[in-house]
Amino acid sequence: MRGLGDLESAVMDILWCAETPLKVREVLEQLDTGKNLAYTTVMTVLDNLHRKQWAERERHGKAFVYHPAQSRAQAAAKSLREVLNESGDPEAVLLHFATTVSPEESAVLRKGLRRTARE
């Protein structure tokens, strides 16, 4: 995801797939990075994600539990908006993107645009 490092992205993937908020230890147990990560490393990553407003946390006893601050789709849309804003020519970017979509994605876009036009 745009704006996240590799480890932050891996942690967010775990949070997005979780059905309930997770403790640091639970995130650590699910991480499969090929590296032996320390508990404190994952705790720091989660703290950074909270500071960057990617994750929210609540205290449960002595520990925090973490959950995504927004859905994966919302985060992706926000990243796309940032790309468009930074491009200098959002119309050109959108038109180039439109040439790469599948027929199914094109149908979804048309449906979304019709819905937006009605609102």
Task: Answer yes or no: is pLDDT of 2 > 80.
Answer: no
What is the pLDDT, as a whole number, of residue 8? Answer: 96
Q: Give residue-wise pLDDT tens across range 46-87.
A: 999 999 999 999 999 999 999 999 999 999 999 999 999 999
Strand, helix or coil at 116? helix
Report the pLDDT value the prediction gives residue 40, as an integer from 0 to 100: 97
> Is residue 33 within 8 Å of residue 43, measured between CB atoms?
no
> 35 pLDDT band (50/70/90 cuts)?
confident
pLDDT of 117 = 84
Percent of the chain at pLDDT exceeding 90: 81
Q: Tokens 């994750």 identify what position?
A: 55
Per-residue tokens: 6: 């590799």
pLDDT at 33: 85
Q: What is the residue extent of each domain of the chain?
A: 6-68, 72-118
**The two structure tokens encoding residue 83:** 């790309």
The domain defined by 6-68 carries CATH number 1.10.10.10: yes
Q: What is the pLDDT of residue 25?
A: 97
Percent above pLDDT 70 for the chain = 99
Whether the Cβ atoms of residue 59 and residue 52 lie closer than 8 Å to each other: no
If pLDDT is split at 50, 70 and 90, which confidence band does 116 have?
confident
